[in-house]
Amino acid sequence: MSSSSKSALSALGRRSDAPPITWLMILALSRPKLISLAAGFTDQETLPNTETLSLLTDILGDSKRGKAALQYGTTQGDPVLRELTSLRLLQQDQAAVARWAESRCDSAGNRSAVSATSLDVSAYAPERMILTHGSQQLLYLTCEALCDEGDIVLVEDPTYFVFLGIAQSRAIDCRGVKLDPDGLDLDSLEAQLERLKKSGEIKKLKFLYLVSYYQNPSSVTTSRAKKAAALKLLRRYERAAGHPIYLLEDAAYRELRFEGDDVPSLLAEPGAAERVIYAGTYSKPFATGIRVGFGLMPEALQTVCLRLKGNHDFGTANLLQQIVARSIQTGIYAKHVAMLRKRYADKAAVILHALEENLPSSCSWLKPNGGLYVWTALPKHAKAGQKGKFFQAALDAEVLYVPGEVCYAEDKSRPRPANEMRLTFGGASEDAIREGVRRLGKAVGKFYGKS
């Protein structure tokens, strides 16, 4: 890039770094024998081509319905799909809350005060929803609507690295909050908030970004109690901030649960609708080639996001919305998700078994209850980063992972662990997973010993 053409760029343009995905893909493409345990692709075999064709035959085979699907929709998104999504989410939360109350009753021996009917139905209203080009677009719109350069967002340590890419590009200052195996560390959250309050930076804090279900990259789920407590904690600092502090709940992997109970979303908490932005998606649980995500949010914010979305693209491709709506109406969606959960449960078992067999006891990993990832730690002193010798050795053995350090915000107030890897069992076949982990195990053995 010549310096003169560079100077025509905006500050945003000049600043935006290449995302990690770029060099990961270049590596993958340049090595045809490479087994990728890196790419967040979904399982190829189970992609619903027959089901999608049958849905499209229903839609396009009917002249009126077909032509409506091929015309522009609205910026906010198809009313029917919003209605279906809203109802589905409400029912999901009602069931999750009921199950939660039941489990508390079991353990505490008395009836919980919370009942499923106590949910604030208006929090789930289709009017509060925007349908987006994948939930990624909702993350982008939220950042645009809320954050100026230099504004602060709290993120988990580690967090979804593409979100960090948005933040880097838009000069949003991300601060890390510790993540425990059962979710966000509340003490760490409070400590960050206190620090921001003391320094006066709290005025720049706009939201907490929480990937609450089977998190990318760690597979950790944040419990209902922790989510509710985090929301309360944020509210306590609003006076110091001088404005609302939102909580963006990214539920991208919620549908991909294969063990344990579903956790109620933050929308189920009383009054949460005023502060919670809930982002979900149909892409990962149905087909990633069909990009439809959705978000529910407070009205003031929604008004702005709709204006921005209008400028981005007027609205999400209507045909895709119709496929998703019909998949829900016909039950094809529910059936597909049920099958997919079983499939990922099997693939998770394969990778966990392979890790057990091939990695020395100096390594550890978190057992996922859903999602696509196994967050794996090499010994503490190990360096798994892109520029390190271990990453190169893995590459030489034809296996690719995502270095864990790209999942940590640039927050100088704490060290950034360098010994972690994000492995995925999403895209690779069972054989590839086994072989990939075997290769990885060999590299680990060479570098860090076999025990």
Give yes or no for a contact between 258 and 100, defined as CB atoms under 8 angstroms apart: no
Is residue 26 near a second copy by the rule CB under 8 A?
no
Among 26, 67, 361, 392, binds a second copy (CB under 8 A): 67
Give one DSSP letter per residue of 9-67, joined into a string: S-HHHHHPPPPHHHHHHHHHHH-TT-EES-S-PPPSTT--HHHHHHHHHHHHHSHHHHH
Is residue 70 near a second copy by the rule CB under 8 A?
yes
Among 80, 162, 345, 393, binds a second copy (CB under 8 A): 162
Is residue 73 near a second copy by the rule CB under 8 A?
yes
Binding mask 177-206 for a second copy (x = CB under 8 A): -----------------------------x
Among 105, 118, 121, 148, binds a second copy (CB under 8 A): 148
Is residue 11 near a second copy by the rule CB under 8 A?
yes
How far apart CA 376 and CA 207 sit, in angstroms, is 28
How far apart CA 139 and CA 250 sit, in angstroms, is 8
Least Å distance, CB 450 to a second copy, is 37
Is residue 303 near a second copy by the rule CB under 8 A?
yes
Least Å distance, CB 102 to a second copy, is 36
Neighbours of 346 (CB within 10 A): 13
Structure tokens belonging to residue 205: 């804090």
Residue count, binding to a second copy (CB under 8 A): 89
How far apart CA 419 and CA 377 sit, in angstroms, is 6
Among 27, 28, 31, 56, binds a second copy (CB under 8 A): 56
Is residue 345 near a second copy by the rule CB under 8 A?
no
Is residue 22 near a second copy by the rule CB under 8 A?
yes
Among 245, 350, 440, 444, binds a second copy (CB under 8 A): 245
Stretch that binds a second copy, among 46-54, 348-356, 358-366, 376-384 (CB under 8 A): 46-54
Beta bridge partners of 30: none
Distances (CA, A) of 113 to 92, 172, 387: 19, 41, 54
How far apart CA 176 and CA 170 sit, in angstroms, is 17
Range 81-140, binding a second copy (CB under 8 A):
133-134, 136-137, 140
Give yes or no for a contact between 77 and 316, defined as CB atoms under 8 angstroms apart: yes
Among 127, 289, 338, 396, binds a second copy (CB under 8 A): 289
